[in-house]
Every structure is written in structure tokens, then in C-alpha cells.
Amino acid sequence: MITTYRYLLKLQLLLLLYLFSGCAENAEAKLSTAKLFADHMVLQRNQDVYIWGWSTPEANVAIAFNGQEATAQANSKGKWVISLKPMQAGGPYVMSISSGNNRISYKDVMIGEVWICSGQSNMQFFLNQSSNYDSERKSIGEYAVRQFLVPQKMSLNPEEDLSAGEWKNADPKSVGYFSAVGYIFAKQLAQKLHVAVGIINSSWGSSQAECWISKEAMLNDATLKPVVQKQPNNWEEIKQNIDKETKAYVYNNAKAALFNAAKLAANPPSFFDKWRTGSIGAWQWQNKLAAFRGTGFMQRTIRLNSGSEAKPSTLSLGETDADMEIFINGKSVFSGALPKNKPLQLPAGIWNPGANNLLLHLKSDQKDPWWFGFGINGDAKNTYIKFADTTLSLNDYLWKLMPDFGKPYHIEPTPNNTVNTVFNGMVNPLTPLSIAGVIWYQGEANAQRALQYRTVFPLLINDWRKHWKKDIPFVYVQMPSFGLMKKGDQESQWAELREAQRLALSLPNTGMAVTYDVGDPLNLHPANKFPVGMRLASTALKLVYHIAGFYSSPVFKSAEVKGGQVIISFTNPEDKLVIKDGEPLKGFELAGQDHRFYPANAEISNNKVSVQCNEVKTPKFVRYAWGNSPIDANLFTNRNLPVSPFKDNIVEGLTQ
């Protein structure tokens, strides 16, 4: 009996020793770093470099790198941070991290310049989508550029680490998936600074600025505080709230309606007047419909002069992920999967003189969730109706949209129907990484609230600086041209957004790349990203690195009245103002106290611009290049940089 007892006791002790040794091994195996640290990474030169990660609570962690050795002890939760002293550019190096018997080693580590590239789709836009992709691939290898692509993630609470990610060297296989703007920017810096440049691409298409700002910052803003306070802290409640808001918007707070496609198609065009207006483009961009995932309808009234209907026509609807049925005046003309950008040939007699009802029944949810392709996607070149004597563009805001809540659907929270979530998932995990600065390309999603952007954008910049605990340089893109040309005394949300961006230059250590001359009025995502990246780089080389020979666009400084003329001064007086395409100077307007603007005569004198207008005897306001697409504005510098659009009050001069 005693022998049996001793045997069992010995067995228990051996088991405990085995379990203890296993736990010790598992404890040591906990050593890890944040996802940002990996093979091929770039670390910031000439700054303290912070490396962080997780280990056994209160364990000692050591780093050996480029002749330095440093240690730290993990806190009670296992988090550790080690600071390395500033280093000059160089590499490749190996970084070794250890804790107990556990080791981590990262190879091909460079010390150079690190920039965060952030914003929405035009920053996310891949190099292989750009017009200069082929030419850029030919020079791959000449410049040391690397990218870390931050996975897109929304989170209701600040994340400590990213979900995944790796550093990629720019090579013919990988560079196509670099941010086009980010790569052009980084390549120029690498060429001029002769160091490796790493870009951290943290961007999300169609994201509004509010989702990139922390909760704490928004709670300190009187306008944004209520938005944060009403957002639940769990996804189910958020989805329920969005569902209610979507239905209230769609039905204008009236009773919900269910639809039959064939019966709906037979209605006259006037039936759809109460439907919400939308545009060509994925429904994820359609205001309050952004979260809807299901089936639905798009309707468009087509008005024809008598005679157009007598001949065959061509209908082109771009592309969509959804199977669809197309009705014209109640008659089904197509059903199935519409091939990408393949026009439908329609026989004579389909259309009627006057108003016609074109109805699209989008019959399936999007097949590629990453693309958010539900809806009709295209531009003026592939969304149209072509008749024998005319072509009607369908790339406008005259569509009517209606989700089908009678069929299965679900609500998908997005950056634009939540706040803070992208900051939590894609910015907070990047701190306290040592960086040179941020390049930012965003604003399209905030154009409908452009005046508010005057507060929101500076709030975002200051918020990021607070989290990095320094005034990191912030260099951003002023929106390019997009949308219809101005007719007469028109206002423009796009112009208001550009003005909000210009005003953000009042913050220290900020720079702006002016791009209204290189956009595409018909395409929200212009393919020519080369000048955008180059102008960002030129601004950074001037602002951050103080290198002679690099310049940024002049910006409005002041305006005063002298002898009946308005004299406008600009920043960057060292740049000579010129008229790009010959006289006359175009794009200037004056208004009096009634705020009614008139085109004005303008000329360059002593590197300033004098403006006068017969219709405005007492000018109070002046503006330049004010419109969605001010491509006729022609005030440039002798270095071929456009002067920034602006609108400002006029200071009354003493000589008036």
C-alpha cells in the first residue's frame, strides 16, 4: 500500500514538473513584437527609435541592433517598449530581440526616412492602376523604397497592434500594389536624400475624416461630441441604429413599401419623384445607403426629342457585381450578368418621345465585398445612351435609388457610418513609431460638409500630433478637379473643401500640394498620380528637409483695394507669377456686400495680381479658381506650379 502511494506521489511530481516546464516554455514563447517590425523594415534615422511588443509579464527583454544594446522590463500585462538612440541612415542590418531562451531576429533592416501615407481611395490607389505604371516599373531597383500595407480594420476600441502586415521591397512583382502617390513621393525622396524610404500605407477608400480621429479628440469638439456620444460601443446596436436610419432616410419617415420589379417598371417616370436621388457609383458611396447590402433598384428618367426613338440605340452601364434586369418603359430588355463595359444594342421602338422610365433591378448582393461593387460603376466614357444623332451621359446625380427591404439583406458598418473606428484599428497601433511625417490625400468623402472640414481637418492633424507627442510634419493634397464646370455665379462644395484645406496651412509644420490642374472632371480617381506624388515630395523636401531647389504652390496672403483695384499678394514671393497659356488671366471673380460674384479682369504686376470688375464698384470678396473643375484657371509660377484656389474677404485699403 505504501509502495503504491509512493509510486502515485512520484508520478504526480513528475507530472507537475512536466507541466511546469511546459508552462515555462510557453511563457518564453510569448515573446513577440508589434506587426510593424519585420524583415525589410525601415526605421527612422536621426530620431529615438521605439521598438515594442509583448512577452511574459515582468520579463526582461533585450535588443541588439547596429552596435547598440538596450533592455527593458515588460509590465504586468507583458507589454514592453525599448528605445534606441538616434542613428544615421544605413543598412542593411540585423535586429536581434531576446527574452530568456527565446529569440527573434529581423534581417535586411534599413535606417532611413519613414512616412505614413493615409487618406481615402486616391491614396489607396495602386501603382498598377496608374497611367505611369509601366514607366515606373522600368526604374525599380534604382531607388530604395519599401512599403508596409496596413490591413483595413475597424474597431470600436483602440487597438494595440495591427491584425497583420509585412514590409515589401519595391520590385517588379510587388510595386504594383504600392500606393501610387506614396511610391512616387518616396521614390523622389530616396533619389534626393540618398537614403532608404519606407512608406506605411494606412488608407481606406471613401473614408470620411471623422473615422480617422480619436474618440478623445472628438469629445473635446462641440460639434462632433454628440456624434461620439450617441454611438453604441457594440456592433449589434450600431447595426440596428443604422438599419433604422437607413429606412427612415429611404422612406422619408413614411411607411415602408415593398416592390415588384415588373409592376414597378410599368409606372410613369413621375412615380419615382419621391425616391432618394443618387448617382453612378457603388452604393457604399451613396450617403445614407452606404451600409445596405442586398438587392435594389436604380431608376433614371430619360427625356427624348421626337425622332430619337425611331432608330436603334446603344445603352452602356459600365460594370456591376450584381445580376440585373433592365426595364425600359415596363418592358424587360435584358436579364443576367452584364459583361463589364459591354454596351447593349437596343432595337428601334424601345424608347418613346418625351419622358422614358429606365429601371434597373439589381438582383444580387455584391460578389466582391472588398470592392463594394453594388451599383453601377463607371464614368462618362462607359455610362451613356447613344442615339443616331446624340449621346446622353448617365454619369450624373439624376438617378433614383431604392433598396429592396422585402428581400434578404444585411447592414454592414463602414467607416462612414461610424466614427473613430479606423483610427482605432489603423492609426493607434502605429504609435509611438518614429516617423518623418504624414502625407494625406482625403477630402472627397467630406465635400458635402466642406465648411465643417475647416474644423475637422485641423482637429485630425492636432490629434495625430498628440498621439505621436510631437508636431509631425503634415503634407497633404488639395483636391484635384472633379465634376461639372461652373456656369455663372455658382457655388461649389468641392471649392469649399479646397478652401478648408488651404486654411489648414495656418497650423505649423504643414504643407499643401495644389492639384486642380491635374485631375479629371469626369473621374473621381484620376489615373495620373505622378504630378501629385511629385508635388507632395517637392513640398516635403522644402518644408521638412529644407533643401534648396524645391518649391510649393503660392497661396493667398492678402487683398486690399487701391485706386479702384484689388491688389492680391501671395506667399512664396521668390516664385515668379506667370500666365500659363497666354493672356488673359482667367479665374478671378469679385463680389460686393451681396455676395454675388462676377468675372473680373486681372493682370500680374510686381509679382502681385490686380483685379477689377465694372459690375462691382465696392468689392468685399475675391475668389480664384472657384468651382468643381477650374481647369481654365491659369495663374502659375515659372516652375509650372498652379496658384492655390482661394476665397477671402478684402481688407479695405487706406487709399480707397
Q: What is the pLDDT of residue 23?
A: 42
Quote the pTM value. 0.88
Name, in order, each residue with C-beta under 8 angstroms of 117's C-beta and a sequence gap of 6 or more.
Answer: 123, 179, 181, 182, 185, 199, 200, 201, 202, 203, 438, 439, 441
Here the cell at position 510 is 504643414
Quote the pLDDT of residue 367. 57
**pLDDT for residue 337:** 85
* Maximum alpha-carbon separation in the chain: 118
The three cell numbers of residue 567 are: 491688389
Give the single-character DSSP code of 47.
S
pLDDT higher than 90, residue 168: yes
Q: What is the mean pLDDT of residues 286-313?
A: 87
% the chain with pLDDT above 70: 93
**Residue 321: closest CA among 370, 355, 249:** 370
Residue (of 48, 87, 123, 77) closest to 536 by Cα position = 123
Q: What are the extents of the domains in the chain? A: 248-411, 556-649
User: What DSSP string describes 122-140?
Assistant: HHH-BGGGSTTHHHHHHTT
Per the prediction, the chain carries an average pLDDT of: 90
pLDDT, average across residues 481-509: 90
Alpha helical stretches, state H, 441-519: 450-468, 493-503
Positive or negative torsion for Cα 325, 328, 331, 334: negative
Cα of first residue to Cα of last residue in the chain, in angstroms, is: 116
Q: Does 25 score more than 60 pLDDT?
A: no
Minimum mean pLDDT range among 20-24, 415-419, 460-464: 20-24
Question: Would you state the pLDDT for residue 6?
Answer: 44
Residue identified by cell 462644395 is: 493
| pLDDT recorded at residue 309 | 78
Per-residue pLDDT, 322: 78
Query: Rounded mean pLDDT of 224-230?
Result: 93
130-167 residue pLDDT tens: 998 998 988 887 789 999 999 999 999 999 999 999 99
pLDDT, tens digit, for every residue of 180-193?
Answer: 999 999 999 999 99
Sorting pLDDT into bands at 50, 70 and 90, what band is 281? confident
Please give the average per-residue pLDDT across 104-117, as a whole number. 98
The single-letter code of the amino acid at 586 is K
Mean pLDDT of 373-383: 79
Please check the confidence at residue 588 and state whether its pLDDT lies above 60.
Answer: yes
- Residue 28 reports pLDDT greater than 50: no
Which amino acid, 6?
A: R
pLDDT of residue 230: 93
543, containing H or E segment: helix 530-543
Least confident of 65-74, 285-294, 447-456: 285-294
| Rounded Cα–Cα distance for residues 131 and 233 (Å) | 43
Coil, helix or strand at residue 305: coil
pLDDT for position 19: 41
Average pLDDT, stretch 454-483?
97
CB 294 within 8 A of CB 365: yes
Q: What 3-state class would DSSP assign to 277?
A: strand
* Mean pLDDT across 168-183: 96
pLDDT greater at residue 377 or residue 285 = 377
Strands 510-514 and 474-478: parallel
Which range, of 9-18, 31-40, 253-262, 638-647, averages the lowest pLDDT?
Answer: 9-18
Residue 380 has pLDDT above 80, yes or no: no
Residue 602: CA count within 13 A, CB half-sphere: 29
Amino acid identity of residue 519, one-letter, is: G
Asked which of 220-234, 306-320, 400-414 is least confident by mean pLDDT, the reply is 306-320
Is residue 495 within 8 A of residue 645, CB to CB? The reply is yes
How far is the C-alpha of 515 from the C-alpha of 533, rounded, in Å?
10
Fold of domain 248-411? Jelly Rolls (2.60.120)
Q: Spell out the residues 6+ positions from residue 541 whose beta carbon is closer than 8 angstroms to its own.
A: 188, 189, 192, 547, 550
Q: Would you say residue 530 has pLDDT above 50?
A: yes
Cell triple for 343: 454596351
**pLDDT (0 to 100) of residue 250:** 92
Instruction: Please check the confidence at residue 484 and state whether its pLDDT lies above 90.
Output: no
Residue 654 confidence (pLDDT): 34
Q: How far apart are CA 16 and CA 653, in angstroms?
A: 90
For residue 651, the model assigns a pLDDT of: 67
Predicted pLDDT of residue 306: 75
Mean pLDDT, residues 271-300 taken together: 87
DSSP E strand boundaries for 529-600? 556-562, 565-570, 577-579, 588-591, 597-599
pLDDT tens for each residue of 538-559: 999 999 999 999 999 999 999 9
Strands 344-346 and 410-411: unpaired
Helix axes 180-193, 530-543, angle to 10 degrees: 40
The predicted structure's pLDDT at residue 429: 98
* pLDDT for position 511: 98
Q: How confident is the model over 53-75, as a mean pLDDT?
A: 97
Residue 372 has pLDDT above 80, yes or no: no
Grid cell at residue 531: 504630378
Rounded Cα distance between 167 and 91, Å, is 15
3-class SS letters over 66-96: CCEEEEEECCCCCEEEEEECCCCCEEEEEEE
**Pairing state between β 621-624 and 601-605:** unpaired
**3-class secondary structure, 112:** strand
Q: What is the pLDDT of residue 81?
A: 98
pLDDT, tens digit (0-9, with 9 covering 90-100), for 325-368:
999 999 999 998 887 778 999 999 999 999 999 999 998 765 55
- Three cell numbers written together for 68: 547598440
